[in-house]
C-alpha cells in the first residue's frame, strides 16, 4: 500500500469517510486534477500544479482542505488565520461534503492554475 492510500486507510471515522468522499469529489470535478503524496499529505494538482491538500489541524483536531493560493480566492468560507498565502476550508466530518461551497472554491483555484500555465 502506498503512502497516499495509507493516509486514508489510517484515518478514524468520521474523518475517513469525509476525506474519501472529498477525494472522490475533487478528482471527479475536472479531468485535469490528479493526486500526489507531497509533504506527508495528500495533495491535489491541476495539470501538475499543486492547488489543494488535506490535513488535520493539530491544535484542535479539525480536518480541513488547504488551498495553496487561497489568499487569491475570495470566498467567505475560507479562513487564513495566521497564514500568509494559504487559506483553509475547515470541515465538519459529520455534516457531509459542502459541495456548493467547495465547487465554487475549486473553480477559482483551477482558474488560478490555468492563468499560470
Q: What is the count of structural domains for the chain? A: 1
* 25, 102 Cβ separation under 8 angstroms: yes
| Cross-strand partners of 56 | 63
Which three cell numbers mark 1? 500500500
The string over 48-74, giving b where at least 16 C-beta atoms fall within 10 Å of a residue's C-beta and e elsewhere, is ebbbbbbbeeeeeeebbbbbbbbeebe
19 or 97, which is more confident = 19
**Residue 45, domain CATH:** 3.90.1150.200
Indicate whether 102 pLDDT > 90: yes
Indicate whether 96 pLDDT > 80: no
Q: Which residue segment(s) compose the domain that 17 sits in?
A: 3-116
pLDDT at 117: 62
Amino acid at each position: 500500500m502506498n503512502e497516499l492510500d495509507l493516509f486514508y486507510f489510517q484515518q478514524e471515522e468520521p474523518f475517513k469517510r469525509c476525506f474519501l468522499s472529498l477525494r472522490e469529489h475533487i478528482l471527479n470535478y475536472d479531468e485535469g486534477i490528479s493526486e500526489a503524496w507531497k509533504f506527508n499529505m495528500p495533495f491535489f494538482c491541476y495539470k501538475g500544479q499543486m492547488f489543494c491538500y488535506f490535513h488535520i489541524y493539530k491544535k484542535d483536531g479539525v480536518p480541513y482542505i488547504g488551498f495553496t493560493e487561497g489568499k487569491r480566492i475570495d470566498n467567505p468560507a475560507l479562513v487564513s488565520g495566521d497564514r500568509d498565502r494559504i487559506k483553509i476550508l475547515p470541515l465538519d466530518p459529520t455534516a457531509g461534503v459542502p459541495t456548493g461551497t467547495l465547487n465554487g472554491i475549486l473553480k477559482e483555484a483551477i482558474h488560478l492554475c490555468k492563468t499560470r500555465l
